[in-house]
Amino acid sequence: MGDSGRYTDYIISTYQRFSGFPVEVDLQGNVLTTLPEAVGNMQHLISIDLSRNKLRVFPERLTDVSSLKHISVEGNQITELPMEKLSLMPALKSVDVRCNLLTPEAASVPHHFTLLT
């Protein structure tokens, strides 16, 4: 496992110790190609920054976290967004997808949150 994997594991284990409090996770610039499955179980997660990684696919597991307010995947290689699933997230306020390879149709579904493109 590389340094970014150990760092990610550290973040998740730290979260599990404080799992009753609102949590913001910053994993920017870690060369991640996927999101660890455990992040989808972080039910007090309110913000996650996955900018400047190597994600090619939007981590749909995030749409299972109903407490999420802010998601940043800026500067990755994502081409499509799960807009219908994102639109069902009750707390979501913003999704930053700037500097990705999004198709023109990627943001075509009506949504209640701010989409930064």
The pLDDT tens digits along the chain (117 residues) read: 455 556 566 655 555 555 567 889 999 999 999 988 788 788 889 999 999 999 999 999 999 999 999 999 999 999 999 999 999 999 999 999 999 999 888 777 778 898 998
Distance CA 63, CA 30 (A): 21
Specify whether the CB–CB gap between 79 and 106 falls below 8 A.
yes
Identify the bridge partners of residue 26 per DSSP, sorted by sequence position: 49
